[in-house]
Amino acid sequence: MAPYLILLAAFLIALYFIFRDKKAKKLPENTINTADQQILLSHVAYYQNLDAANRTKFEHMLGDFLSYVRIEGIDLTPDATDRLLIASSAIIPVFGFGHWKYQNLHAVILYPDTFNKDFQFEGGDRNILGMVGTGYMNGQMILSRSALLEGFSISADKENTAIHEFVHLLDKSDGATDGIPENLMPHQYIIPWVKMIHQEINKIEAGKSDINPYAVTNEAEFLAVVSEYFFEKPAQFKDKHPELYQILSATFSQDPAKK
């Protein structure tokens, strides 16, 4: 019996190495190719500012996001640029975490332009650029394609609608969209953060802040608006709002002003 046992063991070991090699050689789904890299270099300043190792990490995180989130279009067919910009918007806020899965998202729906509360994108009274779905729309995000592209254009300045909406999802991940991402923000910063929100809202209302006035809507919008600024113009944000920058840097585990 011993020779047969030895042969069986050798056979099992051989199978292990055969299948291990096949698994190692298999490319993951949604791998970022050379054409995708060129799109990222052309449109995503955040990616441009990464070194080679971190670009590879960014690409892997993009591929992972695209493997579990559907990107669909209404009255349009999303192209490679649409998909990569949406995925980049998702990855930029969580890049410092190494791995993050948006458990509360399964689809991003792209509209041609702005839409209204009834999800209509034609006619008047259309001023919504993006939104995170609730109720029967839970687990879905709606974005205006025009706003998505504008957010990654040179003229975007401090604003990026898609990043704004993904920050809402991060805020919501602790169970409440309240401007206090408790499962991300270090506990010692929560009370100072709440105080800073209201101090800065007073400055915005008095015309003494360069933060988008939409931030005064509520605490959740404040977080999303200043996060856009943090990622789009980090050096400027750090110079003008050092205390807010410090807390967001700790919250997102990133220091984008150093890139």
pLDDT tens, 129-138? 888 876 667 7
Secondary structure (DSSP) of 201-249: HHHHHTT---S-GGGGS-HHHHHHHHHHHHHHSHHHHHHH-HHHHHHHH
Using the 8-state DSSP alphabet, how is residue 56 labeled?
Answer: H
How does the average pLDDT of the chain come out, rounded?
Answer: 86
Mean pLDDT of 219-234: 97
Q: How many helices (H) and strands (E) does the chain have?
A: 11, 4
Flag whether pLDDT at 21 surpasses 70.
no
Q: Which 3 state secondary structure label does DSSP give 77? A: coil
Flag whether pLDDT at 6 surpasses 70.
no
Residues for the chain: how many in total?
259
Read off the pLDDT band of 55 (50, 70, 90). Answer: very high
Read off the pLDDT band of 139 (50, 70, 90). Answer: confident
What is the distance, to the nearest Å, from the Cα of residue 31 to the centroid of all Cα atoms in its chain?
Answer: 18
List of E strands, the chain = 70-73, 107-111, 130-132, 140-144
Question: pLDDT tens digits for 84-122?
Answer: 999 999 999 999 997 889 988 999 999 988 887 766 666
Architecture of domain 174-258: 3-Layer(aba) Sandwich (3.40)
Q: How far apart are CA 82 and CA 149, in angstroms?
A: 8
Flag whether pLDDT at 29 surpasses 60.
no
- Predicted confidence at residue 121, as pLDDT, reads 67
Closest Cα to residue 227, out of 211, 240, 216, 239? 211
Classify residue 80 by burial, with Cβ atoms within 10 Å: 0-12, 13-18, 19+: exposed
